[in-house]
Structure 1
C-alpha cells in the first residue's frame, strides 16, 4: 500500500467518526508541593487512611517520604517501597495484601511509571478480591475486534483509588492501564483497570528536580514517544493531535534545559507536556515504538525509557514519507527543517541518550529473539501508518537503529 493510500484510509476513518476517552481524573494540582498537595487532596476527597507506595531510592536516599508521612500524621496507615523495575506481579500481590490489611481507603503513589503501574493493579486486586498470580492473570485486558481499543475485563466499581505524585515524565499518571512484569515468564502482563487512572495528581517541580537527570531525560523521551504516536495515529482525533503537537514542542524545547537544575520553568513545562500528552494518548491507537518497548524492556533487562529512545527513532525513520503532514506540523511548531527523524536524532545526541540497539548493549541474537514475541503481541504489528506485519518488517524496522 502506498503512503497516499494509507493517508486516504486514515482520513476516511476520521470522517466516519472519532471518539475521546476521559480517563477519570477529578483534580490536578500543578506547581504544588507534595507536602501541601497530598493533604489538600485527602481533605478534598475525604480520605482518612492513606497507604503510600514509593520508589526505594526516594524512600532511602531522600527525606521526601518521611516528610510526607509527617504531614499526613495519623492519616498515613502504611508505606511500602517494595516495587522494583517493571513492578513484578509478586510485589503487586504483596502490596495489595498490605493495603487490605491496613484497611486503607486510598493509595498515594510517589514515583515513576513502575510505582503507578503497581498501584493501578493493586486497585484491581482489591476490587476483585484477587490475591494470587493465576487468578490475577485471568483479569488481563482484551482488545476490541478491530484492534484499536483496550477493554477492561473487570467492570466492578473500584473499592479504592489512587492519588499520584509523579517523579518522572513518562505519563503513566494519565492512563488506567498497568503493565507489570510476570515473574515467571518475564513478559509484561496487561491490565486495564476501571478508574485506574489517579483520581488526583500533584505536580511538584521541585520534587521532579530531585530525580536523577539520566532517568528524568529518558522518561521525558518516553513521554515524547507517546505524544508522537498520538500525533501519528492511524485514527487521529482533532483534540488529541492538537495536544500531542503542543506536547512535542514542550518536550523538545525544555528537556535540554533540565540539565540546568535550577531552571524551575523547564521542570514545570515538562510536567505540562506530560499533561498534554496524557490527555490524548488513550483515545487513539498507538504504533510500533509504544508497544515494542514492552518486548525489549523485560526480555533484554533494558529500562523502558532507554528502549523508547531507540525505538522512537526507529519508528520515525520507518515513517519517513508515510507521515508527511504529521511530521510537517511538528517541524513547523519547532521551526526546524530536514527529516523529522533527524530532529529526534539531534535531540537524543544533545541529551546523550541511546540512539541505537548497540547503545543499549544488544547484540544480533538478542534482537532476533524479539521478533516472535513482537508478532505475538496484540499491538506491536497493528495500527502503524506504514504497515508492520511480518517478521521481515519487524527486522527491517529494528535494522534502522542497529548501530
Structure 2
C-alpha cells in the first residue's frame, strides 16, 4: 500500500473551554453563538441521580426547550431517530450533550438525521460512511450542510467529543452503523473537572483506558503524522500518570490533567488511521453485550503484545517519556491491574464459543484488518491475537 502522505485533519471545533464550571460557561457559549433554543441530551443516571442537569437547565432558563435522557448503551438507532424528530419538531437551534461517548455519538447521528431529514431507519442507514480505496480515509455518506450543531460537556474520558464519527448500534442486526457527520464534532467543548469527579470511578477508569487506546493507536499508526504522534505520546503519559489518581475525588489536578489528555488525544486521532484494538471493540461490544471501554482494556493489551518486535521505535519513545524500562505490554498490564480493570476476554465473561464467533465479523469489517503495523489478515492471525486477548 502506498503511504497516503502527511495530512492533518482539523475537526472543526470553534471553542474549547478547559477547567471551567459548566453551569456558568454554557450560558456564555449560548450568547457567543447567539443560540436561543437548546435541547439537552444526557445520560439517564446523570439526570436522575444528580443535580447536574437541573443546574444546567436552571442556568439556561427559557432557552432550554427540551431534554431527553433516553440514550442507552451504544446509542440504539431507535433512540437516535426518536430524539431527532423531537428536536426537529421543537425547532431547537443547538443540541447540548452532557455525558459520555454514547450521548455524544447519539447527538452526532441526530445532527445527520436533521440535516438530511432522515427520520426513518432505512433512509438513515443509506448515509453510512465509506472507506477510500487504500483504506486510510473515511468518506462521508452525506454532504448536506449541518442544520444543527452540538455543544459537548463530557463527563468521561473516551474522546468522542473530538471526532465527527458516530457509531450507534442497529438493534435489528446488533452491529454498529458507521456515520461520518459533516461538522459532527462539537462546535464547542466545556471541560469541567468537577463533573468528571462525580462520574463513577469504574466508568471513569474504563473510558480513560478507551482514550488511552485511541492515543496508542495514533502513536503506533501505520501511517503516522508527526504532530499527531507528539500529542498522542504526551496524552499517553498523562493518562498513565493520572488515571490511578482519579480514585481520590478531591484531586482536581488529576481530573484536569486527565481531561487535558483527552484533548491531546483528540487533536490528533482523526489525522491517522488506527489499528486493531480501536475497531475491534465495534465487534466485541455489540455481539458480547459489553461496554466499549471494558472491551478496549482487553484489546489494547492484546494489541500491545501482538506488536512486540514490530513497534519497537514507537513503544520505545513512549517508554522513555514514562521513564519505564519494561515492555510496553507490561506497563499496560500493570496499569490495568492497578485500576482493577479487565485484562482478558474471560474477565469480560466471554466463553470460547463467543470468541470464535467474533472472527468472521472482524474479517468482514472494513477497518479491523487494515492499517496494522503487524498484519492481521487471516482467520489464523485473528485467532492468534484473540488468544493473546484470552491471556494465552
Q: Give yes or no for the alignment of 1:220 onto 2:212.
A: no
Residue in 2 that maps onto 1:239 = 227
5+ residue gaps, structure 2, are none
Q: Give yes or no for the alignment of 1:349 onto 2:337.
A: yes
Deviation of 1:131 after TM superposition, in Å, equals: 0.3
How much is the aligned-residue C-alpha RMSD, in angstroms?
0.8
Residue in 1 that maps onto 2:246 = 258
> Which of 6, 11, 19 in structure 2 is aligned with 1:31?
19
5+ residue gaps, structure 1, are 1-8
Rounded Cα–Cα distance in structure 2 between residues aligned with 1:222 and 1:17: 27
1:53 counterpart SS class: strand
Residue in 1 that maps onto 2:110 = 122
Pairing 1:162-201 to 2, within 5 Å after superposition: 162-201=150-189
Pairing 1:40-59 to 2, within 5 Å after superposition: 40-59=28-47
Rounded Cα–Cα distance in structure 2 between residues aligned with 1:45 and 1:321: 50
Rounded Cα–Cα distance in structure 2 between residues aligned with 1:260 and 1:63: 21
Q: Give yes or no for the alignment of 1:315 onto 2:288.
A: no
Deviation of 1:17 after TM superposition, in Å, equals: 2.7
Deviation of 1:149 after TM superposition, in Å, equals: 0.9
Rounded Cα–Cα distance in structure 1 between residues aligned with 2:101 and 2:9: 21
> Which of 268, 289, 300 in structure 1 is aligned with 2:256?
268
Rounded Cα–Cα distance in structure 1 between residues aligned with 2:68 and 2:26: 17
- Normalised to the residue count of structure 2, the TM-score between the two structures is 0.99
Rounded Cα–Cα distance in structure 2 between residues aligned with 1:303 and 1:264: 26
Q: Deviations over 1:212-231 (max 9, x none)?
A: 00000000000000000000
1:378 counterpart SS class: coil
Residue in 1 that maps onto 2:75 = 87
Rounded Cα–Cα distance in structure 1 between residues aligned with 2:45 and 2:167: 21
Rounded Cα–Cα distance in structure 2 between residues aligned with 1:19 and 1:241: 12
Q: Deviations over 1:141-190 (max 9, x none)?
A: 00011001111111111000000000000000000000000010010000
Rounded Cα–Cα distance in structure 1 between residues aligned with 2:5 and 2:164: 24
Rounded Cα–Cα distance in structure 2 between residues aligned with 1:372 and 1:314: 18
Residue in 2 that maps onto 1:111 = 99
Q: Give yes or no for the alignment of 1:359 onto 2:342.
A: no
Rounded Cα–Cα distance in structure 2 between residues aligned with 1:320 and 1:120: 36
Rounded Cα–Cα distance in structure 2 between residues aligned with 1:183 and 1:352: 31
Which segments of structure 1 move beyond 3 Å, counting only runs of 4 or more?
none
Deviation of 1:401 after TM superposition, in Å, equals: 2.3
Residue in 1 that maps onto 2:365 = 377
Q: Deviations over 1:247-306 (max 9, x none)?
A: 000000000000111000000000000000000111100000000000000000000000
1:29 counterpart SS class: strand
Rounded Cα–Cα distance in structure 1 between residues aligned with 2:107 and 2:236: 28
Q: How many pairs does the alignment contain?
A: 391
Residue in 1 that maps onto 2:199 = 211
Q: Give yes or no for the alignment of 1:159 onto 2:147.
A: yes
> Which of 365, 375, 378 in structure 2 is aligned with 1:390?
378
1:400 counterpart SS class: helix
1:219 counterpart SS class: helix
> Which of 265, 270, 288 in structure 2 is aligned with 1:300?
288
1:159 counterpart SS class: coil
- Normalised to the residue count of structure 1, the TM-score between the two structures is 0.96
Rounded Cα–Cα distance in structure 1 between residues aligned with 2:150 and 2:390: 40
